[in-house]
Structure 1
């Protein structure tokens, strides 16, 4: 059984917010092969207070006692205002907030005083080699935990990250790395064992209304949570991304931990652009030996396991089977 911390920025039930974090949480909660021991919240897809409310409401609905702790409210350096404007207001700019009419809102709750960053660092360092950290939002909490707990990188069993984009039309950067490039750079170069799930592979995933209808037939609380929160998001994705459904980025991270046959992977050196300008936050990768290495500094961190191709039908089957448990 894998012992997990999930660091996330869920938005299930929130107009215009992506719902893939909630699906990742649902898979982890439903799987008999995972012990989810801590949920930490970072600002990203939603403000951290909103993400906390979403995750805590889910845990309360299930009657579980898993700690949910609120972490960083903004990036290490990146100004939050442009990102909040883009992420929180877009649904109103395109006049699609009505898609969420009638969708249950997460119940408001106050975050505990305990700090998410300290809880993450302590749990990992007190259990060396036993905790897998799933980081599916900006990496601010993870970077701060590494700063406070220098042994974290060597103590964590693995960090499985959703973030980065290397070669997709219409994308220079993704939200998770773009919102906090300094944190992504620090974590990728920490020397920890890392699996990276970039948008290049997560945009090969797809969940349609037909797929969701199969989940809707599962009479279980987690299946109902997924069904009710995914319906408006799929419609939003169809209208704004011109897809037949929606991508399920973060779900692939947890599915990969459960069954590595769901995707292929290769090892690369990976980093993030930190300089100001259009490419700030852009991720890049390379393998050795480089044909042209003039001006390229020696890589500080180790190789990163990067997912390449996904079997979407197997992924959907895994999700359905896990939620039916």
Structure 2
């Protein structure tokens, strides 16, 4: 089997950390770069978090690039949140990666992304785990960029109008709706979406989470530490929030996109149709709409996952923390 080349674009929070470890552990996958974007925390915190995760995964040689510090329009002042703590990794690590400024690549993430894909046309798979700002800037910088990609996997968006940051929009898209709009209009490469509802409706059990983070390994202990004080990994806290709509369970959101990328068999069911991101409205801005009746007259369709084989997903998560 040929090696899959992967660029991971991330706003590295706790679920991103788990997802990156899934990619690092996958056979026949080579992560050629990690590009950073604001989102779960400031872009500087994201860079530090990525270096820490790569150190845990014993892959410190992978180049890391600093990217967008805010959305295409406006500022991050009113939108940054502490879903995974103010630092993105649960506010429990005394020292994340103090040498990050010495190790970060001088090249900007967007430039690096465009260059790597141009050097390897139709060979690079891009996985986007945060706001899509870097990707939107990349296509504006080089319109041929999407056409040079092999495929694009996105964790973000929604398919039922259910939101987790605003009433109708998912976090990654709501953080930069214009970027999400640009990407889903201008990226004509094969595109796959693991949405908010897809992850929530395919949750794993809390018993599995306890077993996952109780393995006697460096990676498992790391995940147990960074989830230890985070309300987003608290069964009790979620029973009053997400569980009301989707039922109980452990959800590592970004891992659903990476899992589908490294093992297509994880996805059990999907729908293929055009989509569009709404940019107007007090409640619907950032919401992704699925056009199942052809009213948008778009030529390009994307694949939106709806159901996964949870046993295969669970195996990938276990393997990612075995070392």
TM range (shorter): 0.7 to 0.9
Provide the aligned length of Structure 1 versus Structure 2: 304
1:4 matched to which residue of 2? 6
Aligned alpha-carbon RMSD (Å): 2.6
Q: TM-score w.r.t. structure 2 length?
A: 0.85
Q: What's 2:228 paired with?
A: 231
**For 1:138, what is the secondary structure of its paired residue?**
coil
- TM norm structure 1: 0.85
Q: Please, which runs of 5 or more residues in structure 1 have no aligned partner?
A: 12-18
Q: Deviations over 1:159-199 (max 9, x none)?
A: 10011112155640011111111111111112122111111
Whether 2:156 is the aligned partner of 1:163: answer: yes
SS at match of 2:201: coil
Q: Contact 1:100/1:232 (CA < 8 Å) preserved in 2?
A: yes
Query: 2-side partners of 1:157 and 1:282: how far apart?
Result: 26
Indicate which of 262, 273, 280 corresponds to 2:278.
273
| CA distance in 2 between partners of 1:123 and 1:101 (Å) | 33
Q: Structure 1 residue 78: deviation in Å?
A: 4.1
Shift of 1:91: 6.2
8 Å Cα contact 1:142-1:187 kept in structure 2: yes
In structure 1, the residue matched to 2:195 is 198
How has the CA–CA distance of structure 1 residues 153 and 201 changed in structure 2, closer, same or farther, with 3 Å as cutoff? Answer: same
Counterpart pick for 1:59 among 50, 54, 75: 54
Q: 1:100 to 1:76 in 2, by over 3 A?
A: closer
Task: Mark the CA change 1:102 to 1:176 in structure 2 (over 3 Å): closer, same or farther.
Answer: closer
Looking at structure 2, the residues matched to 247 and 209 of structure 1 have their Cα atoms a distance apart, in angstroms, of: 9
Equivalence map 1:1-325=2 (5 Å): 1-11=3-13, 19-61=14-56, 62=58, 64-84=60-80, 87-88=81-82, 103=93, 105-108=95-98, 109-110=100-101, 111-167=104-160, 169=162, 171-190=167-186, 191-233=188-230, 236-242=233-239, 243=243, 244-263=248-267, 264-288=269-293, 290=294, 293=295, 296=296, 298-299=297-298, 302-324=300-322
Q: How far apart are the structure 1 equivalents of 2:154 and 2:91?
A: 32
Q: 1:202 touches 1:252 (CA, 8 Å); kept in 2? A: yes
Aligned partners of 1:46, 1:126: CA distance in 2, in Å? 31
CA distance in 1, matches of 2:210, 2:285: 40
Distance 2:19 2:281 in 1: 33
